[in-house]
Structure 1
Amino acid sequence: MDFLQLEEKLSSYGTGGYYLVESFLIKLLQAEAQAKKQDFVHSSGSNIATFDAFAPNGFGDIHGPVSIEIVRALSTNRVIKEANRFSSATKEASTSLLLISLTKYSHNLVPFIKKNFPAAASVYLWGPSEIQSLIDRHPTTASNLAENLFSNRFRVALESNAEDWKTQREGVINAVRDQYKSGRFSMFLGAGVSSSAGLPDWDTLLNSLFVSMLTEDVAGTKNTDSEQISSIVKRLRQIDGPSALMLARYIRKGITTDSPTEQGKFIAAVTTQLYGLRNKKYSISSQLIKAIANLCAPSRTGAKMRAVLTYNFDDLLEREVKSRGLSYRSIFEELDLPSPEELPIYHVHGFLPEDRSEYENINKATLVFSEEGYHQIYRESYHWSNLIQLNSLKETSCLMVGLSLTDPNLRRLLEISAKSIDKPKHFAFMKRITYESFSMDGEKSVVRAPTTTVRRFLDRHHKLNEEVLRELGVNIIWYENYDEIPTILQQIGKGV
């Protein structure tokens, strides 16, 4: 079996191909350790605070504890990065670092290490030739692994060194803080941010617009009872419920035509419902929005936030940033550019400020409200909103707040940006399913399985979710309660 042929074949799988090779190699390293009766522990792929594997009693001919890291390619910058990370994480002088590159590396790296690192003897480099030697020593294992690449990848994730998820989360938060400190940092904001201030969710907004539309049109009268229409809408969505995007298109066609006057009517209707439905029990300046604004503020060493990209229509973040006297610019059209002093807040799906008079050219904003709007963005690869998203994903580390990461266009852009990296560099908050919320409905048990079985299933479910997002270059920051998010954001900005 030839490793280079395997690696070339898997490169056609896109981003996921690298992780298949990585999992193949981890199991092969494990077989080598077992043959030499050496302990071998591999870490969860989502745990960016640790190395890929650890051999406490040595690995092969390398003595002492050995940390192992698998990389797509080795360069001087990558060696410096991993050596520095190794030095800061290692307290014992006898510990070694083994860097395994899937592609050939320059032989100049060996003298470079000896010259630049005092503990040079403890840093070892492997390339395709050493990997091929492993394959040749374990041909049967290598062949079996090659035949079961996909199942093997998830087996590696599920068998990884168990660690309390909250402990693991601390390592991820530290990694976010490091990226924030670097100044190569952006935020992507979704509906959860607006919901924290009481704005309606997408489904509530659509239903309200649907009721409003039908109340004016049913039976040719404007006096139809809205409660009656609401009950009809509720039943219609139960019996023949369209997807959210299809319903949005339905509403858009029902309220407007292509004339400028009718377009204005539609925008006014959406804006009225968006802010009119806000739950006044929530502060319009929520703790989450305040925490985001805190990260937007320049520190004593300069600005850390490169840009904010929001998929929300509202102007709640702008209000908070403005109240602090921070310089910003809301961008909702292609030709607009921020000055060097301004924080750009990109509204990539459109902008509906409550007071439209505060913004010039607001009528030029493209509102990605319904199905045809999404189709336009998918169809136009060079649409300005696609370019802004992709540039941020490629050039910065992005923290995603209030996003479910189910949007196909965002996932497509994430996959494109992840092709050139071998470790996830973006971060997303995701709600963890607790045993209680999964198993109980009030005081009634709804799952007929032992507690240990349910907990094991949920643990696997979360690990597999981590692996799926890892392919897209995203690390998950788990939380159980929404109130944890502002606290974590404060941790990220603390002491910077």
Structure 2
Amino acid sequence: MKNIFISYSHKDSNIAKTVSTILKNEGYNVWIDIEQIQSNLNLLEKIKEGLKQSDVLLAIITENFINSNSAQAELGHIVFGSNTSLFTIKIGEILLPSFINGIIRYTYEIDNFDKFDTDIFLDKFNQLEESLNFSTDIKRYDKDKAIFNNIEEKIEVIRKELSDNRLTLVCGAGVSSSIGLPDWNTLLVRILSHALTLKHKDFSSSEMETLLSSSNLIVGKYLKILLGEEFDEVVTKSLYEEEWTLGDYAYTESTLISNIIELIRPKRNRGSVESVITFNFDSLLEEFLTKNSIKFKAIYDEGIKFGADEIPIYHVHGYLPRNEKIEKHNLVFSEDGYHTQFIDPYSWSNLIQLYKYMNNSCLFIGVSLSDPNLRRILDISRRKNEGDGNKHFIIKKLPPKDSSVYDLQLMLEEQDSLMLGLNVIWVSDYDEYPKVLEKIIK
């Protein structure tokens, strides 16, 4: 007798029961936790037990499933914890996670469950049975298919949001470093070098980088105290020029920045980016937008207004313009700054982020998702938008393929992003970031 394990969100219990009844009537043994798990039994142990006895996993993929952390964790365990082949019933317009794509043998897709056709479903399911023959022909994780299978589908969704003026760009350190600005540790090394020079200390750059690798927030907090009123000036100089002069230093426009500018540039036949959120202090994006005659407004404090023809650029971690003096920089630089943002849910930067994450689709570029405040706001947004699906996207570089835990790391990183409401667009190398944007702006 052939054994089937059904994975689903408990909000779709009625669908699972219907599918279970159909399969049982066809002579299959069906494992479904509605019927087989008691409240006093360990769920994971029962799932393992069910999987050991199952030939095929049938996953009912709905918005509820994608929005359920426990359902995704269960499926992840199944993907890497058994040799079971996967059949999916996909209901609605859903972007499947990459780690699921690689093991799907057959799928039955419908717009909603009212359109479920028993004969079509059984026909596809029988195709799976014939191909596997329930023998050793179990297809395992196909990495290439899993990673790149539905990138075009994701790009099309982003294009639609752009056309509807509902797309927000969210830029992190990777955007600024593409132009030649220092990454976080390099910036701290420059500031620390200057601060310790004032105190007649001498350490090598490599020694300081070793120090920063495990304690950069601590060092940042120390530097703010050490430099006092000099702090903003020293950070500005360290950010833009290693040689400590604030002249007209020419930064080269990277391919990534060029494509970001084209994405921001309003076009009649394509719509435009609604807003930009940046975690970077620098003003180079603004400078390149000025060079390209695109109107914008840098917003780094509450009360700053922008015009109807201006793209707002929200500097939620503060702003250090290169060639302009402003009264308040509002830098979130060290541990205390992160704590202040975290404990003040009504700060303008938190409210702006929450509003954009809840009401727009966002494309994250060069963002690591390690900021605890960002993760908290994304989690709140996803919870409040439950049922609205994962409508945000993040471009991520694949983990090293020579790692023995590559498959597992890929799944864990993607599941983490999905739990924050972000679909992952994987690229093999940082050079491919601009290529993703090229596909969007075509």
Matched residue, 1:480:
428
Shift of 1:339: 1.1
> Is 2:72 the partner of 1:99?
no
Tell me how many residue pairs correspond in the alignment.
349
Equivalent of 2:277 in 309, 331, 353: 309
Matched residue, 1:86:
none
Matched residue, 1:387:
351
Residue 21 of structure 1 aligns with an amino acid whose one-letter code is H
Equivalent of 2:196 in 194, 214, 224: 214
Residues 434 and 29 (structure 1 numbering): CA distance in 2 closer, same or farther, change over 3 Å? farther
Q: Structure 1 CA distance, aligned partners of 2:258 and 2:353?
A: 23
Moved more, 372-381 or 23-32: 23-32
Moved more, 163-172 or 333-342: 163-172
Q: Structure 2 CA distance, aligned partners of 1:209 and 1:37?
A: 71
Residue 260 of structure 2 aligns with an amino acid whose one-letter code is I
Matched residue, 1:428:
394
Q: Structure 1 CA distance, aligned partners of 2:367 and 2:20?
A: 40
Matched residue, 1:146:
none
Matched residue, 1:414:
378
Q: Structure 2 CA distance, aligned partners of 1:282 and 1:435?
A: 37
> Is 2:219 the partner of 1:230?
no
Q: Structure 2 CA distance, aligned partners of 1:230 and 1:43?
A: 58
Equivalent of 2:297 in 292, 309, 329: 329
Residues 266 and 283 (structure 1 numbering): CA distance in 2 closer, same or farther, change over 3 Å? closer
Matched residue, 2:219:
247
Matched residue, 2:335:
371
Moved more, 286-295 or 159-168: 159-168
Equivalent of 1:170 in 152, 165, 180: 152
Residue 338 of structure 1: SS of its match in structure 2?
coil
Matched residue, 1:137:
none
Q: Structure 2 CA distance, aligned partners of 1:488 and 1:213?
A: 40
Residue 392 of structure 2 aligns with an amino acid whose one-letter code is H
Q: Structure 2 CA distance, aligned partners of 1:123 and 1:428?
A: 33
Q: Structure 1 CA distance, aligned partners of 2:211 and 2:239?
A: 26
* CA-to-aligned-CA distance 1:360-389 (integer Å, 9 cap, x gap): xx2123111111111111111100000111
Unpaired segments ≥5 residues, structure 1: 1-18, 54-64, 71-80, 83-94, 101-109, 111-121, 125-157, 219-223, 257-261, 439-453
> Is 2:439 the partner of 1:491?
yes
Shift of 1:418: 0.4
Residues 4-19 of structure 1: matches in 2 within 5 Å?
A: none
Q: Return the TM-score normalized by structure 1.
A: 0.62
Residue 97 of structure 1 aligns with an amino acid whose one-letter code is I
Shift of 1:207: 1.3
Q: Structure 2 CA distance, aligned partners of 1:25 and 1:406?
A: 38
Q: Structure 1 CA distance, aligned partners of 2:9 and 2:143?
A: 19
Residue 149 of structure 2: SS of its match in structure 1?
helix
> Is 2:143 the partner of 1:179?
no
Residue 210 of structure 1 aligns with an amino acid whose one-letter code is L
Kindly indicate whether the alpha-carbon contact (under 8 Å) linking 2:365 and 2:394 is maintained by their aligned counterparts in 1: yes
Kindly indicate whether the alpha-carbon contact (under 8 Å) linking 2:399 and 2:409 is maintained by their aligned counterparts in 1: no
Kindly indicate whether the alpha-carbon contact (under 8 Å) linking 1:245 and 1:371 is maintained by their aligned counterparts in 2: yes
Residues 16-415 of structure 1: matches in 2 within 5 Å?
A: 21=10, 34-35=23-24, 36=26, 42=59, 68-69=90-91, 97=110, 99=112, 122=115, 163-218=145-200, 229-231=202-204, 234-235=206-207, 238=210, 243-256=215-228, 262=229, 265-277=230-242, 284-301=252-269, 303-357=271-325, 362-415=326-379
Unpaired segments ≥5 residues, structure 2: 1-7, 29-55, 67-71, 76-86, 95-107, 118-139
Q: Structure 1 CA distance, aligned partners of 2:333 and 2:21?
A: 55
Q: Structure 2 CA distance, aligned partners of 1:311 and 1:488?
A: 21
> Is 2:434 the partner of 1:466?
no
Residue 269 of structure 1 aligns with an amino acid whose one-letter code is V
Residue 171 of structure 1: SS of its match in structure 2?
helix
Q: Structure 1 CA distance, aligned partners of 2:150 and 2:60?
A: 11
Percent of residue pairs identical = 33
Q: Structure 2 CA distance, aligned partners of 1:274 and 1:203?
A: 11
Residue 356 of structure 2 aligns with an amino acid whose one-letter code is S
Kindly indicate whether the alpha-carbon contact (under 8 Å) linking 1:331 and 1:344 is maintained by their aligned counterparts in 2: yes
Shift of 1:277: 3.3
Q: Structure 2 CA distance, aligned partners of 1:379 and 1:469?
A: 23
Q: Structure 1 CA distance, aligned partners of 2:334 and 2:146?
A: 42
* CA-to-aligned-CA distance 1:85-137 (integer Å, 9 cap, x gap): xxxxxxxxxx873635xxxxxxxxx8xxxxxxxxxxx468xxxxxxxxxxxxx
Kindly indicate whether the alpha-carbon contact (under 8 Å) linking 2:58 and 2:88 is maintained by their aligned counterparts in 1: no
Residues 431-442 of structure 1: matches in 2 within 5 Å?
A: 431-436=397-402, 438=403
Residues 170 and 281 (structure 1 numbering): CA distance in 2 closer, same or farther, change over 3 Å? farther
* CA-to-aligned-CA distance 1:26-78 (integer Å, 9 cap, x gap): 97777556533688754889999xxx99xxxxxxxxxxx995427xxxxxxxx
Residues 176 and 236 (structure 1 numbering): CA distance in 2 closer, same or farther, change over 3 Å? closer
Residue 398 of structure 1: SS of its match in structure 2?
strand
Q: Structure 1 CA distance, aligned partners of 2:10 and 2:242?
A: 50
Residues 319 and 239 (structure 1 numbering): CA distance in 2 closer, same or farther, change over 3 Å? closer
Residue 205 of structure 1: SS of its match in structure 2?
helix
Residue 363 of structure 1: SS of its match in structure 2?
coil
Q: Return the TM-score normalized by structure 2.
A: 0.69
Shift of 1:402: 0.3
Kindly indicate whether the alpha-carbon contact (under 8 Å) linking 2:170 and 2:363 is maintained by their aligned counterparts in 1: yes
Shift of 1:20: 5.5
